Amino acid sequence: MVAPLTPSPVPELSKQAQAFARDGYVLARGVFTPAEVAEIRELFAKMHADGVPGHYEPRAVADGVQDPADPLFQYPRVMMPHRFNARARHYLLLPEVVERLRAFFGTEPVAAQSMFYFKPPGARGQALHQDQFYLLVEPGTCIAAWTAIDDCDEENGAMLVVPKSKDLPIVCPDTADARVSYTSHFVPVPKGYKAQLVKMKAGDTLFFNGSIIHGSGPNRSKGRFRRAFICHYASGDVRKISGGYRPLIRLDGTEYDVEPQASGGPCGEGWKGALH
């Protein structure tokens, strides 16, 4: 007797996979439970309050921000928390995220990066960009899982995506406007395309491939954070990736290495291995 197929724990997975294949991005509602969102919020609030020597030291120069009055000087992003915090690694490999990544990649994924953005009131956003410019995954491209830890909308700097940009080439960016973006790279919206705001509730996850042009505006609210837990993944057959994203993480939590990307991408050697 043939055993019945085990249904996916994600009832809407087939539709999400179709949407991702068609558009290069998909918004998945409620991937993280309210309890998980609360734990992540508390985990990084404590990390910000206490610091992690050698890994995360708030109120030190970070991301080129040197002005103590800048909200991002007070609340710099946390880079690669999975490398020094077990709960961050747990959420990097959350089964509800992994199940979707399997469907989107068509194979087992591996994890390359985790980040946490606080984006307090008054903080600048991040200019439009493409993730594959930084990760330089080969073969294929990366996929981001961008999880809202607060409700986000236009006022507090929600995500912007450019629909139909999934198959665009990776371009050498222009210089961003430092008044509204804390990062220096900016990919202009091509003619015939338009950036679209993505409103999200805490616990929702936006998945998008490495060519999708995306970014966010400033947090113009008076008292609302726009926290986000952001991870990047590659297909399990990845052979090369920018140096700063190594070692990679298998789904069982073990680390392994691949060849560092020798190409600097469209801008040459100067950008090779740069984290974003």
| Assigned domain for 144 exists | yes
Domain limits for position 217: 23-52+75-267
Domain count, the chain: 1
DSSP character for 262?
-
| Assigned domain for 44 exists | yes
| Assigned domain for 97 exists | yes
- In 3D space, the residue among 225, 70, 219, 233 whose CA is nearest the CA of residue 148 turns out to be 225
pTM given for the model: 0.94
pLDDT of the residue at 3: 41
- Flag residues of the chain having pLDDT under 50: 1-7
Expressed in angstroms, the distance from the first to the final Cα of the chain is: 52
Query: 131 is written with which tokens?
Result: 């993730």
| Assigned domain for 273 exists | no
208, 24 contact by CB (below 8 A): yes
| Assigned domain for 236 exists | yes
Rounded to 5 degrees, φ, ψ at 71 are -55, -30
The CATH number covering residue 108 comes to 2.60.120.620
